[in-house]
Amino acid sequence: MRVGLLTGGGDVPGLNAAIRAVVKRGEGEHGHTIVGFRHGWRGLADGDVMPLTRSHIRNVLPTGGTLLGTARYHPHADDGGLDAVRATLEEERIEALICIGGDGTLHAASKVAESGVRIVAVPKTIDNDVWGTDRSIGFDTAVNIATEAVDRIHTTAESHNRVMIVEVMGRHAGWIATTAGIAGGAELVLAPEEPFDIDRVVRFLQHRHRAHASFSIIVVAEGAVPLEGSSMQYETQLGPFGEIVAGAISERLGAEIADRTGFDTRVTILGHVQRGGTPTPADRILGSRLGVAAIDAVSAGESGVMTALRGDDVVLVPLTDIAGKVKQVPAEMLEVARALA
Amino acid sequence: MRVGLLTGGGDVPGLNAAIRAVVKRGEGEHGHTIVGFRHGWRGLADGDVMPLTRSHIRNVLPTGGTLLGTARYHPHADDGGLDAVRATLEEERIEALICIGGDGTLHAASKVAESGVRIVAVPKTIDNDVWGTDRSIGFDTAVNIATEAVDRIHTTAESHNRVMIVEVMGRHAGWIATTAGIAGGAELVLAPEEPFDIDRVVRFLQHRHRAHASFSIIVVAEGAVPLEGSSMQYETQLGPFGEIVAGAISERLGAEIADRTGFDTRVTILGHVQRGGTPTPADRILGSRLGVAAIDAVSAGESGVMTALRGDDVVLVPLTDIAGKVKQVPAEMLEVARALA
Amino acid sequence: MRVGLLTGGGDVPGLNAAIRAVVKRGEGEHGHTIVGFRHGWRGLADGDVMPLTRSHIRNVLPTGGTLLGTARYHPHADDGGLDAVRATLEEERIEALICIGGDGTLHAASKVAESGVRIVAVPKTIDNDVWGTDRSIGFDTAVNIATEAVDRIHTTAESHNRVMIVEVMGRHAGWIATTAGIAGGAELVLAPEEPFDIDRVVRFLQHRHRAHASFSIIVVAEGAVPLEGSSMQYETQLGPFGEIVAGAISERLGAEIADRTGFDTRVTILGHVQRGGTPTPADRILGSRLGVAAIDAVSAGESGVMTALRGDDVVLVPLTDIAGKVKQVPAEMLEVARALA
Amino acid sequence: MRVGLLTGGGDVPGLNAAIRAVVKRGEGEHGHTIVGFRHGWRGLADGDVMPLTRSHIRNVLPTGGTLLGTARYHPHADDGGLDAVRATLEEERIEALICIGGDGTLHAASKVAESGVRIVAVPKTIDNDVWGTDRSIGFDTAVNIATEAVDRIHTTAESHNRVMIVEVMGRHAGWIATTAGIAGGAELVLAPEEPFDIDRVVRFLQHRHRAHASFSIIVVAEGAVPLEGSSMQYETQLGPFGEIVAGAISERLGAEIADRTGFDTRVTILGHVQRGGTPTPADRILGSRLGVAAIDAVSAGESGVMTALRGDDVVLVPLTDIAGKVKQVPAEMLEVARALA
């Protein structure tokens, strides 16, 4: 069987572990030929293929990024993308497709599955907001990087009596902000799940600095927004690809806080470092397990499903079940972040 | 309310996060007084108390070990231990007890609960074999340390054409061995779940080194044993506390392999480094969440339960449900380790 | 003898190792009493003292920041600062002073020494540009953090075909930029030592991306400037304390490159994370050695000197020798960065 | 010009950085062809060559080990090794040779140079005991690994009231032991430079545990030995290659201490993990600089020299100057380790 493989959307650590798993298991157990598409859906539409054999995946387990390359393009019916995808699959005699990606890729996979292509998806996103799986590939590494940054900023905040704001990723859900906030002992976590009241933020800081402390750390998700009707005006700023502009909310928040409290306030925007570098063991294991499960699933004739982690187990979830849903941070974790500030 | 707190058994990274959570949440939300017992159950039996307030838990979040100290002692009815425990609780006017520990502590907690003491347990063990929870405190850090060691040994194995054996912890279950094996790309994982056939191990190595490779890495859990009736004789060696003697299985295995294959074979025993040092974010978060859940549970009148992680949620599990059970590595993970070798 | 101790300027990892060394050696070997001044020279001028005994330095070796706190204030003759300093020293019966800091502190120390106070300085700065010592405290940790960031960005640059610009600290010298550039395998290092020609930068990128590569990483020091008379206009932007505004050069450079090449170009500003967190072993050792040398030197009657690392040895350097000098990156290292791009 | 390149002796992190530097600089600046010999001097004697071009060194900068492989063999005149080396060099038309290695390699290089071959050496050894250079490749990474281990063991020692012994490498010099001891805050460092008196060790531990502490960490170099005539008998144990048997001194020392003090005493032997894995930035930079200097030196007609780090500079040192010398830890550093215990 010839099985196609692509990685779509932003790169995250752990993708190469998943690619390696598909190839090793596909060749070794099932005797398949794995065909890679370069630069995600763009390569699938354009017929940009590369062979994927054991020699291509040597030593990639501990590496970040994706050896297939990726792009933010997704195929649509009305721009001829879906037709181009089907044409390539036919030309390359691909009988099944495995696509590793986030929201956009899962949505595209759903559409492609509807057109009769056998397809299995693997969830990756450092935002960890894919519905139906406890974890997506890349999240654990991002949390480690963000926590390390909060740890580092802690010492300098304390030495200089500052309010330090750390902006992390998380557009629709505050997974990185909440976990790095808890792990790093932040005083305040601002997540998209709960629009914040700037007046309460300011009162909290003033109370804290008056009472006993001389510094504070605020971890803010890029997708955090002020409470509607509150005294801070803010419009989410979007970039050319519809992504949130890095630094927009944190710079604005820093200016508000400095202005209203007079405290020395500094902003750090983690940005791209969150999504690169050596994957943590957890991301290598997750990539490996979900990759093996994906190739096993297509070999067993499954289609239109996503491999997912549920507790200690790997399961298959119908793509139609997760469409349009965002997995947000549970209230219990938000409460833990608040309780331990 | 006066709530007692102790940590029992071996120390692991993340204990201080759990202690901090109990104290912060206990004081802040519930208005409790938290009383610490030094050196685990020994201190509870001996009345060795220390106050635990916010000032005692400053800056402990990123630290390893346990600020309460710990010991391997557990109270029994027939040695007067349980009576001593009850006497101390009465004398200190402790209305509820939170104990953080592994198998031994959970068993002791169950016994103490039966005698009418309000008690909630929190699971910790780098072996990750506590039934009823996806993760125990300390496991994630241990996996990170073990994987880093496998990564390091990979480069030296490859440069020198060696068989390298890495022994990790795991008496009844091979969680560290399997996960570090997958994450580190080991050629072979030997876990207690599946007694190994030395003849097959030797044939595998010979085949691999003849075919294409010049080195191999074997990750072996301390509790791994040869298949009964196979050609390798081995008796598990126990130390003074009933613990498995470090290095016993790996030294023996190394000698067998060197003898039977003639390959240059080296052994590394990770030992104590696996259980020390800065906890990973995942262990800090797990400790924080389970700690908050524990103090919330005792405040709500719960008793005889363990706080546990299940998927994205924190739940309570009756101690009677987990007694005598060991959570072993699922077959799917063992298969992933084998498939990706 | 009563010996005063302060840390001045920005905080760096390794300060606590130096403080610990002064206290342990001062108490243990010499029988001195060590008196700490909070928040650097500000505390010395204001008489803000704290005792420093063995109990204050427990467990601080692996911690970042400075337990004494610091501030960017330096005393001057004409603002009454020097008089205030002398008044505090007299009032506290301080016979000798050890001050740990960068340029500003070394300059202030020199002035205080001239007025007859026995004083020994210890160099710290992540910029590593203090004349007379191979290394200053904090530099090695900053290089590790910056290199890790370049490593991380490498994988995402490669996966997405981007030009990635990483801005690091270094106002008058490009030590972090050059070392992190070499260690991270950057394609281009822009350092204050050599003003850059934007036309050559653009030609280099175009040639590289045409020839074979699809991505490039540029490490730029905050103090890098375009060649005078070249086609890029840029004024160094200074903040309220005379510090270079973070992101000024890199944002400007990114815009120029994107504009002139059309390449997808992204900027990451490391900022405060460079100066925080657990010090590397090298910084703990350097802090420990220079701290011991400082207290030994004041005990031996030395004054007006700085402890310094030269090869494998610790030596004393007269403060008058280093005044007004900046240690820049040697031409050989700049050439290595260029040769290995 | 055709330039040969080999790596000899044990592998260390940073070798690939040096190989990469030789190839990039050799091809790019000098237009040389670089010929690699596999498995060190063994490959040079046997004619086991591999081409070394830019494509072979892609992505190797952050990797441990040596892509050329290595072996512990060194050529001698009386076993025909030197003749075989010269024959290979002639057959492959090699005009100059760069060899990266430790004591054995430097000695062999010296012999080969005497026979008229143009040769430049680059020092690597995690022991850091090569005379004439401040640092050898691999040392900084080993110190980082050893310090991390001491940090980890610190927390478990403290939680359990134990004496923990950590054995690190260092046969003739205690560089790793002393630096990791200072950086990790060990209570005692035992190095080959100063044979230890077991009676004083025991008295120190008894005094410390009686006075105030409940745990102690001892870092011991594999080459440490008891003082002659003291009450502890010990013969250094050598393995098949003349190397010190791992664990010999530490197991023996642990037994003595447990026996004489009754303290719970545990031993950890770091072993192979010290020499593997991702090199620190310092080792990547050192490898890069010494590699560039080596290819520049052979291109300039130099021979019989070693590239070396002296302060901030890279210099050339005649091989005849360093023969038979061991660079030991300066007394000042040993004193710092003692003073800060």
pLDDT tens for each residue of A90-123? 999 999 999 999 999 999 999 999 989 999 999 9
| Chosen from A145, A288, A334 to mutate, greatest number of chain B CBs within 10 A | A288
Does the beta carbon of B31 lie under 8 angstroms from any beta carbon of chain A? no
| CA atoms of D123 and D131, how far apart (whole Å) | 9
Contact A289 B21 (CB under 8 A): no
Instruction: List the Cα angle C181/C184/C185 in 5-degree steps.
Output: 75
| B299-338 per-position pLDDT tens digit | 999 999 999 999 999 999 999 999 889 999 999 999 999 9
| CA atoms of C261 and B50, how far apart (whole Å) | 66
Question: φ and ψ at C18, to 5 degrees?
Answer: -70, -40
| Both tokens assigned to D286 | 């050192």
Question: pLDDT: is C251 or C243 the higher one?
Answer: C251
| Both tokens assigned to A265 | 């306030």
Q: What are the residue ranges in chain D where pLDDT is below 70?
A: none
Distance (Å) from the C-alpha of residue C280 to the closest C-alpha of chain A?
Answer: 13
Q: Is C333 annotated as a binding residue?
A: no
Contact of B209 with B157, CB cutoff 8 Å: no
> Confidence class of residue A212 from pLDDT cuts 50, 70 and 90?
confident
Q: Which residues in chain A (53-92) have CB-CB distances under 8 A to chain D?
A: 59, 63
| CA atoms of B57 and B28, how far apart (whole Å) | 13
| CA atoms of C152 and A261, how far apart (whole Å) | 36
End-to-end CA distance of chain A: 54
Contact A24 B292 (CB under 8 A): no
End-to-end CA distance of chain D: 54
Q: Which residues pair with B306 in a beta bridge?
A: B121, B317
Question: φ and ψ at D188, to 5 degrees?
Answer: -150, 135
| CA atoms of A197 and A216, how far apart (whole Å) | 17
The pLDDT value recorded for residue B158 is: 83
Which residues in chain A touch residue B128, judged by CB atoms under 8 angstroms apart?
none
Which residues in chain D touch residue C62, judged by CB atoms under 8 angstroms apart?
151, 185
Sign of CA dihedral A326, A331, A333, A337: positive
Distance (Å) from the C-alpha of residue D279 to the closest C-alpha of chain C?
Answer: 9
Can you tell me which residue has the tokens 């990797």? D63
What percent of chain A clears pLDDT 70, i.e. is strictly above it?
A: 100
The pLDDT value recorded for residue A216 is: 95
ipTM: 0.96
- The yes-or-no verdict on residue A219 having pLDDT over 90 is yes
The pLDDT value recorded for residue D307 is: 98
Distance (Å) from the C-alpha of residue D165 to the closest C-alpha of chain B?
Answer: 11
Can you tell me which residue has the tokens 């110190």? D143
Q: Is B127 a catalytic residue?
A: yes
The pLDDT value recorded for residue B160 is: 78
For chain A, list the domains and their CATH numbers.
2-138+279-322 (3.40.50.450), 141-275 (3.40.50.460)
Q: Is A271 annotated as a binding residue?
A: no
Of D144, D180, D332, the CB nearest to C280: D144
End-to-end CA distance of chain B: 54
| Both tokens assigned to D82 | 């030197």
Contact A277 C152 (CB under 8 A): yes
Of A28, A147, A339, the CB nearest to B29: A339
Q: Which residue of B has its CA nearest to D269?
A: B269
Rounded average pLDDT over A67-75: 91
Decide the pairing of beta strands C119-123 and C305-310. parallel
- The yes-or-no verdict on residue B235 having pLDDT over 90 is no
> Confidence class of residue C143 from pLDDT cuts 50, 70 and 90?
very high
The pLDDT value recorded for residue C291 is: 98
Contact B155 D269 (CB under 8 A): no
| Both tokens assigned to B313 | 């949620």
Which residues in chain A touch residue B285, judged by CB atoms under 8 angstroms apart?
179, 182-183
Question: Which residue is catalytic, options D127, D129, D140, D283?
Answer: D127
Q: Which residues in chain A (222-251) have CB-CB distances under 8 A to chain C?
A: none
The pLDDT value recorded for residue B161 is: 81
| Chosen from B63, B134, B336 to mutate, greatest number of chain A CBs within 10 A | B336
Report the Cα B177 to chain-centroid distance in Å: 12
The 10 Å Cβ neighbour count of residue A30 is 16
Minimal CA–CA distance to B29: which of B316, B294, B323, B305? B294
Contact B280 A144 (CB under 8 A): yes
Rounded average pLDDT over C141-157: 94
- The yes-or-no verdict on residue A185 having pLDDT over 80 is yes
Question: Which residue is catalytic, options B11, B48, B79, B127?
Answer: B127
In three-state form (DSSP H/G/I as H, E/B as E, the rest C), the secondary structure along C241-291 is: CCCECCCHHHHHHHHHHHHHHCCCEEEEECHHHHHCCCCCHHHHHHHHHHH
Can you tell me which residue has the tokens 């397990």? A289
Of D310, D332, D340, the CB nearest to C24: D340
What percent of chain B clears pLDDT 90, i.e. is strictly above it?
A: 86
What percent of chain C clears pLDDT 70, i.e. is strictly above it?
A: 100
The pLDDT value recorded for residue A137 is: 98
Burial track C140-166 (b if 16+ CB lie within 10 A, e otherwise): bbbbbbbbbbbbbbbbbbbbbbbbbbb
Residue D132 φ/ψ region, left for φ over 0, alpha for ψ in the -120 to 50 degree band, beta for the rest: left
The 10 Å Cβ neighbour count of residue A283 is 30
Q: Is A266 annotated as a binding residue?
A: yes
Contact B161 D69 (CB under 8 A): yes
Q: Which residues pair with B189 in a beta bridge?
A: B219
What percent of chain A clears pLDDT 90, i.e. is strictly above it?
A: 86
Does the beta carbon of B300 lie under 8 angstroms from any beta carbon of chain A? no
> Cα–Cα distances in Å, from C165 out to C223, C257, C269?
14, 10, 8
Rounded average pLDDT over A203-209: 93
Mean pLDDT check: name the lowest of A25-29, B102-106, C186-190, D231-235: D231-235
Decide the pairing of beta strands C96-101 and C49-52. unpaired
- The yes-or-no verdict on residue A211 having pLDDT over 80 is no
- The yes-or-no verdict on residue B274 having pLDDT over 80 is yes
| CA atoms of C329 and C179, how far apart (whole Å) | 9
The pLDDT value recorded for residue C285 is: 98
Sign of CA dihedral B41, B44, B48, B49: positive
| A252-284 per-position pLDDT tens digit | 999 999 999 999 999 999 999 999 899 999 999
Q: Which residues in chain B (146-175) have CB-CB distances under 8 A to chain D?
A: 148-149, 151-156, 158-161, 164
Q: Is B238 exposed, middle or buried (0-12, 13-18, 19+ CB in 10 A)?
A: exposed
- The yes-or-no verdict on residue B240 having pLDDT over 80 is no
- The yes-or-no verdict on residue A213 having pLDDT over 80 is no
| CA atoms of D176 and D140, how far apart (whole Å) | 9
Distance (Å) from the C-alpha of residue B190 to the closest C-alpha of chain D?
Answer: 20
Does the beta carbon of B183 lie under 8 angstroms from any beta carbon of chain A? yes
Average pLDDT, chain B: 95
| CA atoms of D88 and C66, how far apart (whole Å) | 59
| CA atoms of A18 and A41, how far apart (whole Å) | 17
Instruction: List the Cα angle B118/B119/B120 in 5-degree steps.
Output: 140
pTM, to two decimals: 0.95
Q: Is A162 annotated as a binding residue?
A: yes
3-state secondary structure of B338: helix
Residue B59 φ/ψ region, left for φ over 0, alpha for ψ in the -120 to 50 degree band, beta for the rest: left
| CA atoms of B268 and B245, how far apart (whole Å) | 14
Burial track C273-308 (b if 16+ CB lie within 10 A, e otherwise): bbbbbbbbbbbbbbbbbbbbbbbbbbbeebbbbbbb
Contact pairs from chain C to chain D, CB under 8 Å:
109
| CA atoms of D186 and D154, how far apart (whole Å) | 8
> Confidence class of residue B133 from pLDDT cuts 50, 70 and 90?
very high
| CA atoms of A138 and A152, how far apart (whole Å) | 22
Find the Cα–Cα–Cα–Cα dihedral A145, A149, A152, A157, rounded to 10°: -160
Q: Where are the alpha helices (DSSP H) in chain C?
A: 15-25, 41-46, 81-91, 103-114, 139-160, 175-184, 198-211, 248-261, 281-299, 319-322, 331-339
Q: Is B197 annotated as a binding residue?
A: no
Does the beta carbon of B48 lie under 8 angstroms from any beta carbon of chain A? no
- Written as one string, the DSSP assignment of D231-290 is S------B-TTSPBPTTHHHHHHHHHHHHHH---EEEEE-GGGGG-SSPPHHHHHHHHHH
The pLDDT value recorded for residue D242 is: 79
Contacts of B187 (CB under 8 A, 6+ apart): B204, B205, B208, B213, B216, B217, B218, B341
Average pLDDT, chain C: 95
| CA atoms of C30 and C17, how far apart (whole Å) | 18
| C80-128 per-position pLDDT tens digit | 999 999 999 999 999 999 999 999 999 999 999 998 999 999 999 999 9
| CA atoms of A295 and C240, how far apart (whole Å) | 58
Which residues in chain A touch residue C153, judged by CB atoms under 8 angstroms apart?
272-273, 276
DSSP D229: T
Q: Which residues pair with C111 in a beta bridge?
A: none
| CA atoms of B8 and B106, how far apart (whole Å) | 9
Q: Is D169 annotated as a binding residue?
A: yes
> Cα–Cα distances in Å, from D82 out to D76, D100, D116, D324?
6, 17, 12, 20
The 10 Å Cβ neighbour count of residue A229 is 7
Can you tell me which residue has the tokens 């040994």? B153
| CA atoms of C64 and C10, how far apart (whole Å) | 12
Distance (Å) from the C-alpha of residue A296 to the closest C-alpha of chain B?
Answer: 11
| CA atoms of A112 and C314, how far apart (whole Å) | 68
| CA atoms of C25 and D336, how far apart (whole Å) | 9
Question: pLDDT: is A183 or C238 the higher one?
Answer: A183
Which residues in chain A touch residue B21, judged by CB atoms under 8 angstroms apart?
336, 339-340
The pLDDT value recorded for residue B236 is: 85
